[in-house]
Amino acid sequence: MSALPLKVSNLSVSIDDKKLLHEVSFDVAAGERVGFIGGSGSGKTLTALAISGLLPESAKITGSVKLDGKELIGLNESELAQIRGELVGMVFQEPKVALNPLRKLGNQMTEALDAHYTLTRKQRHEAALNLAVRVGLKEPSRITNAYPHEVSGGQRQRAAIAAAISANPGLLLADEPTTALDVTVQQGVIELFRELTTDGSSSLVFITHDLAVLTQIVERIYVFHEGKIVESGSVAEITTRPISRVAKELILAAESETTNKLLEAASFLNEPWEKS
Amino acid sequence: MTVFKAFRMVGQTGKGQFAYTVLGLLILLAAMSYVWLPHDPNYAQGWNAWLPMSLEHPLGTDGSGRDVASRLIAGTRITVLVAVGTGIVSGVIGVVLATAQTLGPKLLREPLAIFIDVLIAFPTLLMAIMFTAVFTGGIPIVIIAVGVGFGVQIARVVRAEMRQILGADYILAARASGVTGFRLLMRHILPNISSVLTVQISLSMGLAILAESGLSYLGFGAPPGVSSWGRMLEETQRYISIHPEVVFWPGFAITLTVLAFYLLGDALRETLDPKLTKKQVLRRTSLGVQG
């Protein structure tokens, strides 16, 4: 599957007569990597869920979402299911709860493949092993046979990413995939996303509230605030000449966080070894 | 935790060992009854009535001279049949109703909830009596009636659990992979409610035995030719002041079996419920001893 362009125009979402997303418009070119940034409740995740049609039934959606020219708003559940996993892959924030605790990782990694194609047991097992290698999981055969609680947080997130890319979707939606991970593991996952999308095989929408993370992955940034896009531009534009108050605050936060991380690292080095 | 693992862990607790022993014995006796019985359970010899315990009749004979031990062992067939039958019927009804209410068409959900509440308002035993009155007695009717009665109660518990699981991120993630409908139910929802379902079914199996005995005692359950513990109670209860030992055995068997199912359900719940920590279980037990 080659990368797919996404064009969203005037997308509004309201739940229980409360408007949560106000006429959001943006586009992602084929193979482009775009970042959404904003605080909690700013509508980033809501936008991603609206694109994949995963909002609750009570949500009212207006506007247009065009994936490769095909309108997604107004499709019914079974038509959407055809698109999910095959054309649009999704990675969630917390791999601990985004993986079924009672299913082996190998089965969960190939879920989308199995939903869209007919595979034999053996083919599925091989696909799981290949995917495990592709997302940089060491000991693929152990991990594909393990349950989620038997592997580490970073391994879980890699498995979740494998599940999202298993059917080679043309668009990858990553909803805060690094937030729940600690700093060292975070870096590995960021690099994995870069690897997976540099060859232009899929477009990427990367959602986060951490500007420092975003600058390492994406080319363009949309800043969300209270259900609206308040600013957009290239990474360089946003980081050097922010216009909106939100963007300025985010930059300050990223800077102070970097300082904190450095301080943290320094204090770790100072700790006496006997303590552990 | 998977259900199989929970069953293994239950075997390490006192309650679990008791339950497994009693239920194992029950199944063994039921299987044995098809191959060998000390006497024909329906062979009446008037001249042998009310015989005391002996080698020939280990538990004595009843007022018609029938061997009590043989009737007790033959009665395990009905007990096992009713327990397993009700377990299956109530489990299927519970899951189907709960699924229809959570995943079914929106128009169906509210009426179904009301329907279930109405059925729950009927006492199960009363409903069973109504069923048997309409369709004449018999074990299949008892199983269906009691199964429906417990099934709607299970549906209510399972529905709550399902709704909680439907809100979980892994369901969203599975849907994001293109999994929907039946596949979502079989692979992601049912395995995660299986622990709750198992506990509920084991409790309803115990209650079903009690209900069958009650119905047989009232004459709605097992037909006359069939040995059933409830029927044995009914036939001998008039002589309780003269021959209490004969009345004791079926009553004891019923109590022991129902207790075993209850303790199994209890032990399963303690193993599967993450909210009950070991400390709480211990505290509760010690309080139980004092009180």
Nearest Cβ partner for A84 among B177, B187, B191: B177
pLDDT digits (tens, 9 = 90+) for A177-186: 988 888 888 8
Asked if pLDDT for residue B47 goes beyond 60, the answer is yes
Distance of alpha carbon A54 from alpha carbon B167, whole angstroms: 12
What mean pLDDT, rounded, does chain A reach?
89
Distances (CA, A) of B175 to A88, A117, B7, B95: 11, 16, 31, 21
Q: Which residue of B has its CA nearest to A83?
A: B178
| Predicted TM-score of the model (pTM) | 0.82
Please calculate the CA angle A183-A88-A189 and round it to the nearest 5 degrees. 15
B167 and chain A: CB distance < 8 Å anywhere?
no
A274 min Cα distance to partner chain B (Å) = 33
- Going by C-alpha positions, the residue among B192, B198, B164 that lies closest to residue B269 is B198
Q: Which residues of A touch B (CB under 8 A)?
A: 52, 54, 57, 77-78, 81-86, 88-90, 92, 94, 97-103, 111-112, 115-116, 160, 163-164, 166-167
Mean pLDDT, residues A213-236: 91
- A101 and B192 within 8 Å at the Cβ level: the answer is yes
B191 and chain A: CB distance < 8 Å anywhere?
yes
pLDDT digits (tens, 9 = 90+) for A127-150: 999 999 999 998 999 999 999 999
Task: Name the band, by pLDDT with cuts 50, 70 and 90, for residue A267.
Answer: low
B183 min Cα distance to partner chain A (Å) = 9
Give the CA diameter of chain B.
77
Q: A with B: how many residue pairs have Cβ under 8 Å apart?
A: 75
Query: ipTM surpassing 0.90, yes or no?
Result: no
B188 and chain A: CB distance < 8 Å anywhere?
yes
List, as one string, the DSSP characters of chain A.
-----EEEEEEEEEETTEEEEEEEEEEE-TT-EEEEE--TTSSHHHHHHHHHT-S-TTEEEEEEEEETTEE-TT--HHHHHHHBTTTEEEE-S-HHHHS-TTS-HHHHHTHHHHHHS---HHHHHHHHHHHHHHTT-SSHHHHHTS-GGGS-HHHHHHHHHHHHHTT--SEEEEESTTTTS-HHHHHHHHHHHHHHHHTSSSEEEEEES-HHHHHHH-SEEEEEETTEEEEEEEHHHHHHS--SHHHHHHHHHHHHHHHHHHHHHHHHHHS-GGG-
Taking a C-beta distance cutoff of 8 angstroms, is the pair A31, A200 a contact?
A: yes
pLDDT digits (tens, 9 = 90+) for A239-248: 888 888 888 8
Residue A263 or residue B245, greater confidence: B245
Distance of alpha carbon A111 from alpha carbon A104, whole angstroms: 11
Distance of alpha carbon A99 from alpha carbon B242, whole angstroms: 66
- Best of B107, B108, B170 to substitute, by most chain A Cβ atoms within 10 angstroms, is B170
Q: Which residue of A has its CA nearest to B169?
A: A98
Distance of alpha carbon B209 from alpha carbon B206, whole angstroms: 5
Nearest Cβ partner for B191 among A86, A94, A102: A102
H-helix or E-strand spanning residue B265: helix B244-272
Q: What residues of B are in contact with residue A102 (Cβ under 8 Å)?
A: 2, 191-192
A57 min Cα distance to partner chain B (Å) = 10
Q: Write down the pLDDT at residue B290.
A: 33
Residue B238 has phi, psi (to 5 degrees) of -70, -25
Distance of alpha carbon A212 from alpha carbon A41, whole angstroms: 20
A99 min Cα distance to partner chain B (Å) = 5
User: By mean pLDDT, which of A52-56, A272-276, B118-122, B240-244 is the weakest?
Assistant: A272-276
A80 min Cα distance to partner chain B (Å) = 8
Distance of alpha carbon B162 from alpha carbon A54, whole angstroms: 18
